[in-house]
Structure 1
Amino acid sequence: MLGPRPTAAGPAETDDAPLTAPGATRAMEAVLERVLEARLRQARDTDAVFAHEMAERVAAFVRRGGKRLRTAFVWCGWRAAGGSGDVDAVLRAGAALELLQACALIHDDVMDGSPLRRGGPAMHVDFAHGHRAGPTSGRASGSAESFGTSAAVLAGDLALAWADDLLTETALASPYGPRLYDEWRAMRTEMVAGQYRDLRAQASGSSGTEEALTIAVLKSARYTVARPLALGASLAGADARTLGAMRAAGRCAGLAFQLRDDLLGAFGDPALTGKPADEDLRARKLTPLLAVAVRLAEAGGDQDAAAVLAPNAEALPGHTVERMRAALERTGARGEVEARIADLAASGLRHFGATGAAPAVRREFAALVERAAGVAPRHAEELV
């Protein structure tokens, strides 16, 4: 049981105190579970095989969790804008974001060929395993990898359909529905644009810092923080000034989150992150971290680092992930990115203060930024 539910008459409350982001996340989990059960019933009514092999896999993947950061930022945006209106709509918007995140992760793993996600097999790997085991009537034919890839694409599509259905239902029932849907529509387009720019950069062998930042903003910063904040604020009827401050805060905090994710992708512990720690390095994926390292190596005349980190380095012998990590350290790229994360977190906090949010909400935003970026925003202690 979740305890007392927040009311819809004003800021959500439990025991006469505002519901915090962790409490809202727990409440969202209950909403998400009801949505998943309804979608699974619909899937079983449609086709039993599809329901068992596809829909249940998607639901299980969603239930495996994740940071649920987007829901927390939706809630923070709603509270910062006054926290008035329908609480259930806020929770449902958070649940829709979690379904959209499932779609993004499933498709991203297919495109990157990632074997692990959230501490278990990636969706395409799980489907391939099922193919090798064969249906109940005997072994399956054809390529298990091809089947897994195709099935995972469909699984991501299904998660997207569930997300869109839920957000549309929420928007139709809200007096702020058009605003909510405008934010959602823009976010989906930005996600696809960012993913395409990522693929394009890999194909072209780009190492430019500006391109790396463009991809990070489109693919992650807006999607992870800026748009969720604006989705929540929209459901509280926020004005244009407040929304502008939210987006600016979210862009800074979201980029700090992505830079931290880049560092974890290069140096993190897979046991803690739930995914391999060297995929981006092996693929020479264009990240701000890699772009900064290439720039510093070239500027400093470090030919070995420049060669190891170059987009075509995988074709050369002896360029191991260990040498790439050493180059990231030696050039100063790791330190520069760490400093940039701290600067962005502090900037995000300053922009968020311009929303007029109450001190308690600003402290909660600072805590969320620390959780997302792995660094406490400077001057957070002043939020009293």
Structure 2
Amino acid sequence: MANDAVAGNSLRVAPAGPSDGDDPVRAVLAAYTNDLVTAVQDALAAFLATEVDALREIDAAMGGFAATARDCVLAGGKRVRPTFAYWGWRGAPGGTGPLPTVLPAFAALELLHTFALVQDDVMDASATRRGRPTAHVALATRHAAAGHRGDPRRFGEAVAVLIGDLCMVWADRLLAHATLPPARLLDVRRCYDQMRVETIAGQYLDVLGESDAANWSVDRALRVARYKTASYTVQRPLLFGACLAGVGGDAPLTAAYTRYGLAVGEAFQLCDDLLGVYGDPATTGKPAGDDLRTGKPTVLLMLARQLATPTQRHALDGLGADAGDAEVARLAEVVADTGAVDRVERMISDRVDEALTALGTASIDETARTALTGLATAATNRRA
């Protein structure tokens, strides 16, 4: 990004149009996030270069470890969390300062996100992420190729956990680079800490659900979506942005952001549930059908069991972790035949409507309102 693009408080906002290609979701995201994504990426790269060099001084092996962590952060992604945080900041009356003063805080959310992704992949035993081997798989492969002693899989998982931990520390360190009055930075930190606690709570419930699926429910699956995804993807980043602008917790804007963020965040996870079964792996970067193989109690699968006939329920309960692609495809048809897909799609639509209604309940900068309106649809109507 050119220096003048981040000198003021605003980023370029261009309307999406036919020239943006055939994907309307990508067009909307490009219109509202291109400059921000570049700014965040540059901030992360500069920060991580210094951090990797510092760790390399401890031991030569630490350089390779730190570089792997850096690559996990810079590997790509939509930068959804900094985007919502930015528009939460811009939408507030105090979101008029120079972007560089708060850019480290936005970038810190990507380090927090990497922490969550790397450790989530270990917990889920996921093989790919964004079309590439997950961190623990890549590390295990490297261990085996080097001929080192011990179990490569165990080594890969252990080092991936450490990478996640390091990214959490890096997030804290980068957040401290934001140029804010001390009292405001303390308020921002409280919001950030609450986001982290809720993320871990949601992740624990997700793990618990997989081990106790028989006693799970649609309500508890929605609770997982609320805390594992909605909180740290949309709701808390918006409130984080508002805190950066100096908005208090009892302000009407806080209530509007909370309502909008919860609705869009839940819809975002419901969309993920659909993509986990019906998405194209070439687009999502993850294999389709893993939720079906493991019986993960997502809202989609909980609804399918609730709506299923006895024959359909028997099929839903019969798939194993070693099922082939043909069996998974047949079970995906069963899920759709129960009506669960249609129900989830209506839930997504209802939540988007709720989010847009929430935007009308408070005074929000009109450019930010336009961006958040587009992002509510783009984040929940996507192919990856």
**TM-score past 0.5 threshold:** yes
State the secondary structure of the residue aligned to 1:46. coil
The partner residue of 2:10 within 4, 12, 33 is 12
TM-superposed deviation, 1:260:
0.5
The partner residue of 1:343 within 340, 345, 350 is 350
State the partner residue of 2:229.
220
The partner residue of 1:289 within 292, 295, 300 is 300
Partners of 1:370 and 1:109 lie apart in 2 by 27
Partners of 1:333 and 1:260 lie apart in 2 by 13
Q: How does 1:308-327 map to 2 (within 5 A)?
A: 308-310=315-317, 313-314=319-320, 320-327=327-334
Partners of 1:173 and 1:120 lie apart in 2 by 41
Which residue identity is paired with 2:270? L
TM-superposed deviation, 1:306:
1.2
State the partner residue of 1:33.
45
State the partner residue of 2:16.
none
1:237 aligns with 2:246: yes
TM-superposed deviation, 1:294:
1.0
Deviation string, structure 1 residues 145-176 (Cα, Å, up to 9, x no partner)? 11111111111111111112112343776551
* Conservation of the 8 A alpha-carbon contact between 2:101 and 2:180: no
State the partner residue of 2:74.
63
Deviation string, structure 1 residues 215-273 (Cα, Å, up to 9, x no partner)? 11010011100011011111111232211211111000011111001100010001001
The partner residue of 2:376 within 364, 369, 373 is 369
TM-superposed deviation, 1:3:
4.6
Tell me how many residue pairs correspond in the alignment.
361
State the partner residue of 2:134.
122
Q: How does 1:272-283 map to 2 (within 5 A)?
A: 272-283=283-294
1:184 aligns with 2:184: no
Percent identity of the aligned residues? 37
TM-superposed deviation, 1:24:
2.1
Gaps of 5+ in 2: 14-30
Q: TM-score, normalised by structure 2?
A: 0.88
Deviation string, structure 1 residues 109-147 (Cα, Å, up to 9, x no partner)? 10000000111110000110111111xxxx211111111
4+ long deviations beyond 4 Å: 171-175, 315-319
State the partner residue of 1:156.
164
* Conservation of the 8 A alpha-carbon contact between 1:246 and 1:352: yes
Which residue identity is paired with 1:111? M
Partners of 2:295 and 2:100 lie apart in 1 by 43
Gaps of 5+ in 1: 376-384
State the partner residue of 1:378.
none
Task: Specify whether residues 315 and 368 from structure 1 end up closer, same or farther in structure 2 by C-alpha distance, changes over 3 A only.
Answer: closer
* Conservation of the 8 A alpha-carbon contact between 1:80 and 1:355: no
Task: Specify whether residues 33 and 315 from structure 1 end up closer, same or farther in structure 2 by C-alpha distance, changes over 3 A only.
Answer: closer
Partners of 2:346 and 2:212 lie apart in 1 by 29
* Conservation of the 8 A alpha-carbon contact between 1:282 and 1:321: yes
The partner residue of 2:206 within 198, 202, 206 is 198
* Conservation of the 8 A alpha-carbon contact between 1:207 and 1:290: no
Deviation string, structure 1 residues 348-369 (Cα, Å, up to 9, x no partner)? 1111232311332211112112
Partners of 1:252 and 1:198 lie apart in 2 by 19
* Conservation of the 8 A alpha-carbon contact between 2:126 and 2:134: yes
